[in-house]
Amino acid sequence: MIKNLIFDFGKVLVDYDFQHVLNRYFKEDKESERKFCDIFMSKEFIDACDRELIPFEELIKETQRAHPYFHDALDFFYDNYTEYVTNEIEGMKELLVTLKKMGFKLYGLSNWCSAVHEIMRRYDIFDLLDGRVVSCEEQVIKPETEIYMRLCKRFGLIPSECLFTDDKIENIRGAESIGMNAVLFTSTKQYVNDIENLYNISVRK
């Protein structure tokens, strides 16, 4: 029996768009933007941000030392980092309210750097969670098994009683590897359809 619903943050609870922040800095200089993204959007850099073995600000400084050409761009990115989160995913806050009323416990499990704390202050949807685990506080990231296990241990959850959702298939596989149920998130409507069909319940108004 599913008792606990676990949600990724980005592209599940809140939406984000790096491009509108990049456009503000690079404007028409698409070649510099491409080179910047080769560094900033690389898996290595994103994983380092999310794992945060060193503070996010220091990681930016290290990257500036390694890539001095983008010193000012990295300053701009750091100063405007939270601006790339644009809004809550449509319909998700209302859905979480409904799910709480139905008796489900709601949890968050996200890969994010420490800037996530400012984002959580900005958006009310995070107040609906009964608990959360964020990678920057744990120095482990999805899809590593350990981060799913820490969530369960911290809140006394049994994996088989959990349904995890994330927009990345590798993170779905990570949850399944410890015995969680999991569905790939593509939209609020799709998530509602999945839980209704899988568990023969109705969450629609």
Q: What is the end-to-end Cα distance of the chain in Å, rounded?
A: 22
Which residue bears the tokens 């704390």?
A: 117
DSSP string, 141-198: -TTSHHHHHHHHHHHT--GGGEEEEESSHHHHHHHHHTT-EEEE-S-HHHHHHHHHHH
The pTM assigned to this predicted structure is 0.95
User: So what's the pLDDT on residue 205?
Assistant: 52
Q: How do residues 148-167 score in pLDDT, each as one tens digit?
A: 999 999 999 999 999 999 99
As a whole number, mean pLDDT of residues 141-147 equals: 98
Predicted confidence (pLDDT) at residue 197 exceeds the cutoff of 70: yes
One of 3.90.1170.50, 3.30.450.20, 3.50.50.60, 3.40.50.1000 is the CATH number of 4-15+87-199, namely 3.40.50.1000
Span 65-84, mean pLDDT?
93
